[in-house]
Structure 1
Amino acid sequence: MRSTPELQALRSTPGIGVILGSTILLETGEISRFESVGDYASYCRMVESTRLSNGKKKGSGNAKCGNRYLSWAWIEAANFAIRYSPEIRRWFDRKASKKPRPVAIKSVAHKLARAGYHLIKDGGHFDVKRAFG
């Protein structure tokens, strides 16, 4: 696992080491099965499952749909990223001043999962300015 280019690309993200990177890669599986980054974020349980019609809530959908281990891994990565990256911490503090702390952490995890999708699919290195700028 250590020598794969996907793992090296994920490890360029603040907060993701060998264990979290391996967990994310193994739980994700083949990245080509996701048509878009939104499909991947939904599979990682990073988006709400509410159904709206005309601005009114019509149902909550299946809240447990997706991979719980990926959700856990991205939230752990978000907690570590907040701790070790000043840019991500600044973005988190702005979000946490308006929303509750768990919602702000989930927002960071969602941004990291979206960036992780592109890193796994295309390779490269994580750019904090592009993700949180």
Structure 2
Amino acid sequence: MSSEPRSNGKKKGSGNVKNGHQYLAWAFVEAANFAVRYEPAVKRVYQRKCARTMPVVAIKAVAHKLARACDHVMRDQVPFDVQRAFA
């Protein structure tokens, strides 16, 4: 008898271990909330996504776009361009 959790012959309880840094994800969600409030281009992307999904999924999508843009800015040493990130 093994000590690992199993159900219906399948190993359970070990998925989703690489889902990112929780505090960094929180910071990008907070930044996304402010971006949606104050930037019209970001608000359009958010509203388009909200029409198809739940608002929490839409804000997370905006946060993900901000995270990718932040990575681009830091990696290539270029200024942030809203039109490039949210066109």
1:123 Cα offset (Å): 1.6
Following the alignment from structure 2 to structure 1, what is the Cα–Cα distance between the partners of residues 64 and 70? 10
What runs of 5+ residues in structure 2 fail to find an aligned partner? 1-13
User: Which residue of 1 is the match for residue 56 of structure 2?
Assistant: 102
Q: Which one scores higher on RCO, CA 8 angstroms, separation ≥ 6?
A: 1
Structure 1 pair 63/84, CA: closer, same or farther in 2 (3 Å)?
A: farther
Correspondence 1:91 to 2:45 = yes
Identical amino acids, percent of aligned pairs: 55
Deviation, 1:64, is: 6.1
Structure 2 residue identity aligned to 1:71 = A
RMSD: 1.6
Query: Paired residue for 1:129?
Result: 83
What does the per-residue CA deviation read over 1:18-39, in whole Å, with 9 as the maximum and x for residues that have no partner?
A: xxxxxxxxxxxxxxxxxxxxxx
Give 1:82's aligned residue: 36
Larger radius of gyration: 2
Moved over 2 A (4+): 63-66
5+ long unaligned stretches in structure 1: 1-59
Counterpart residue type for residue 132 of structure 1 = F
Q: TM-score, normalised by structure 2?
A: 0.77
Number of residue pairs matched by the alignment = 74
* Paired position in structure 1 for 2:15: 61
Superposed displacement of residue 89, structure 1: 0.3
Aligned CA distance change for structure 1 residues 68 and 101 (closer, same or farther; 3 Å): same
Offset at residue 62 of structure 1 (A):
1.5
Distance 1:63 1:75 in 2: 20
Counterpart amino acid of residue 68 in structure 2:
R
Task: Determine the C-alpha separation between the residues in 1 that align with 2:30 and 2:84.
Answer: 21
- 1:81: how far off? 0.4
Superposed CA deviations along residues 42-68 of structure 1, whole A, max 9, x for unmatched, are: xxxxxxxxxxxxxxxxxx831564211
